[in-house]
Structure 1
Amino acid sequence: MAYLTFEEFEKLTSKDIGEEAFKALLPKASAILDNITNHFYIHVDIEKDNTWRVDKFKEALVAQIEYFHVLGATSYEEINNSPQSFTAGRTSVTNPSRYSSTGQNETKPLTAEDVYIYLEGTGLLNRAVMVW
């Protein structure tokens, strides 16, 4: 069962992402959220859980789908495949970095940072070992 329908996605996003792109990105985005939430909704029925927490989870899922769509990639290798800098003739271009002025040795994460904004305070980021 998918965590999010396209209709729900359209209500939660301001981005213009078509249904085909949504369907292509949803499985990987769901896998990312399953991983960081310790597979919570594998063990707990999402239809019966607290609606506030479910809404936050779905907002996080939308953020992850948007992130993948903006980057045009869904794997760590694809996301970080672009060169930090390149030179063509006398023109040199360096991708900016948040951490160093040269832009070198910086990688982008697989998980959108916005995901943590939505999930913080929901209990879904608990990394304790669960016993079911």
Structure 2
Amino acid sequence: MAYLVFEEFKELSNRDIDESNFNKLLPKASAVIDNVTSHFYQRVNIEKDNIWRVNKFKQALCTQIEYFHVLGATTFEEINNAPQTFQAGRTSVSNASRYNPSGANESKPLISEDVYIYLEGTGLLFSGVMSW
């Protein structure tokens, strides 16, 4: 069962993403959010959980879909495949890092940093041991 339907996405998102792209991005975005939340809604019925937490979860999912859409990629390798430098004739372009003195690029994460804005304070980021 999908966590989100396109109509909900349109209500929660400010991005203009069509239904076809939404359907392509939803499975991977859901997998990423499941991973961050330790698969909470694989064990807990989302329809019976606290509505506030469910809404925050769905907003985080929307943010992840938007992130993939903006980057045009859904895998770590695709997101980080930009070349460090390239040359065209005598012109050389370098994508130096702002943070690394050696100039090596830092990697972009697979998960949008904005996801944490929605998930903090919900308990979904808890990473301790639980017995079910």
TM-score by length of 1: 0.92
Q: Equivalent residues in 2 for 1:1-132 (5 A)?
A: 1-95=1-95, 97-100=97-100, 103-132=103-132
Task: For residue 15 of structure 2, give the secondary structure of its aligned residue in structure 1.
Answer: coil
User: CA RMSD for the aligned pairs?
Assistant: 1.5
Structure 1 residues 91 and 24: CA distance shift in structure 2, 3 A: same
CA distance in 1, matches of 2:95, 2:118: 28
Unmatched 5+ residue regions in structure 1? none
In structure 2, the residue corresponding to 1:45 is in which secondary structure? coil
- Aligned-pair identity in percent equals 69
- Find the aligned partners of 2:13 and 2:94 in 1 and give their Cα distance: 31
CA distance in 2, matches of 1:29, 1:63: 9
**Superposed displacement of residue 97, structure 1:** 3.5
> Runs of 4+ in structure 1 displaced over 2 angstroms?
90-98, 100-103
